[in-house]
Structure 1
Amino acid sequence: MTFGFAPSAAASMPASADAANRLGRMLEPAEWAAAGIPLLRNPREVVSGLHARHRPMPSTAVIAVLGPEERLAASASFTRRSAAADGWEFRNSLLAQLRRVIPHDLRRRTPVRTAVLLYCRDGDERWTEEDGAWMWGLRDACTLHGLRCGAYITLTRGGWQVLGEGRGGRHPSSESRPGRLADTGGKADPAPVRTGGGSAEALRRTAAR
């Protein structure tokens, strides 16, 4: 005969509380749509430019800061390492990348630059809890860095999708071969774009200053 002990209520409380906290650190599509996120004028151009520059693979996040006329001021990519989809962890990762590639705008009365997030993942274009955690993290990181919170874009096998807007396309996708930057039609600032690498291929390149 074997004897066992059922887990006590006290022992299960921390796990339950942690799960509840994670659920509180994500945004539903309706919440995101109601947040007044500014629309991209040419999302395909933005996506193509970031895809060519960072060559994202599944689990790669690309954070980009856009100036006036959607000119790219800085961008960085990194691979998600957290096991659980937690908006707090995502916020910290995004904020660390922003601090690496561009000064904050906290002294400005109103934000003049916008941060957008492109996340390459498996699955289809439908919203997931992981997307909700990235949305929460992006919004919070923008607040802490003095930026306007911009679009959240997923890149999957089926193509790209701007969540909350219903805009998307088949190319590029997570399986597309990156094009040349000169072919994307993207706009660049007269000053050099600051770029930090984080994906497998981007890590081989030094940050452009």
Structure 2
Amino acid sequence: MTFGFAPSSATSFTAPANSANRLARMLEPAEWAAAGVPLLRNPREVVSALHTRHHPKPSTAVVAVLDHEERLAASASFSRHSAPADGWELRNALLAHLRRVIPHDLRRRTPVRTAVLLYCREGDERWTEEDGAWMWGLRDACTLHGLRCGAYITLTSDGWQVLGEGRGGRRPSSTSTPGHPADAMAEADALPLRTASGAADALRRTAAR
């Protein structure tokens, strides 16, 4: 099997059924790192803020948009089905939630905002095919929404890990209590944040401003 950055499927909205195409719609950590994904200045603060706001449990994805100063501008969370992960379907779910919480930046020549993805799952920090599908989906969703593609972060019982970078920590984890003082992000100068949560099947939103 060969993995790589295929041409963007931005113009394709018909999901092929065969598994070969599904497996092609994923990225490995080395390819992800080679793509020039911008590093977070303080990933622990970003992870802690999203954990506190969304209380993610296994199979929950949290997509967030950061402004040029790496402040949270918007975020949304949703759960996914247990079926084999397909980057095309994950891309569409991410895009749907981005559209609900923040306007697109397609008119800009260069993206100024960055989307990052936190995925809470079972297992350890090692890369899985499901992670590869999320990476592919995040990259494509960012292209379609005019955003810069940012970090992909996993949250497990062992802690959090920025895949493709090797940075991580024990807290927060999928079993830690949201809002722990050690996890909280200082938000004194943060922008008003738009937040949404929902289920992948219905893509329903519960907004809080």
Fold equivalence (TM over 0.5): yes
Q: Which residue does 2:20 correspond to in 1?
A: 20
Unpaired segments ≥5 residues, structure 2 = 1-15
Contact 1:73 1:189 in 2 (8 A): no
Contact 1:151 1:162 in 2 (8 A): yes
Q: Which residue does 1:111 correspond to in 2?
A: 111
CA spacing shift, 1:156–1:103, aligned 2, 3 Å = same
Unpaired segments ≥5 residues, structure 1 = 1-15
Q: Which residue does 1:93 correspond to in 2?
A: 93
Contact 2:48 2:183 in 1 (8 A): no
Counterpart residue type for residue 143 of structure 1: T
Cα deviation for residue 67 of structure 1 reads 0.2
Higher helix share: 1
Show CA shifts across 1:100-152 (max 9, x none): 00000000000000000000000000000000000000000000000000000
Identical positions, percent: 81
Counterpart check, 1:77 vs 2:77:
yes
> What is the SS of the residue equivalent to 2:69?
helix
Greater shift, 82-91 or 31-40, is seen at 82-91
Q: Which residue does 2:29 correspond to in 1?
A: 29
Task: Work out the CA distance in 1 between the residues paired with 2:26 and 2:206.
Answer: 33
Cα deviation for residue 186 of structure 1 reads 3.7
Contact 1:70 1:187 in 2 (8 A): no
Task: Work out the CA distance in 1 between the residues paired with 2:165 and 2:74.
Answer: 24
Task: Work out the CA distance in 2 between the residues paired with 1:50 and 1:80.
Answer: 18
Counterpart residue type for residue 22 of structure 1: R
CA spacing shift, 1:54–1:96, aligned 2, 3 Å = same
Q: Which residue does 1:7 correspond to in 2?
A: none
**CA RMSD, 1 decimal:** 2.3
Counterpart residue type for residue 42 of structure 1: N
Q: Which residue does 1:4 correspond to in 2?
A: none
Q: Which residue does 1:122 correspond to in 2?
A: 122
Greater shift, 182-191 or 100-109, is seen at 182-191
Q: Which residue does 1:155 correspond to in 2?
A: 155
Show CA shifts across 1:28-50 (max 9, x none): 11110100000000000000000
CA spacing shift, 1:141–1:88, aligned 2, 3 Å = same
Contact 1:82 1:89 in 2 (8 A): no
TM-score (norm: length of structure 2)? 0.85
Q: Which residue does 1:39 correspond to in 2?
A: 39
TM-score (norm: length of structure 1)? 0.85
Task: Work out the CA distance in 1 between the residues paired with 2:197 and 2:189.
Answer: 19
Counterpart check, 1:197 vs 2:194:
no
Q: Which residue does 2:51 correspond to in 1?
A: 51
Cα deviation for residue 197 of structure 1 reads 1.2
Cα deviation for residue 92 of structure 1 reads 0.2
> What is the SS of the residue equivalent to 1:69?
coil
Cα deviation for residue 206 of structure 1 reads 3.7
Task: Tell me the number of residue pairs that the alignment of Structure 1 and Structure 2 aligns.
Answer: 191
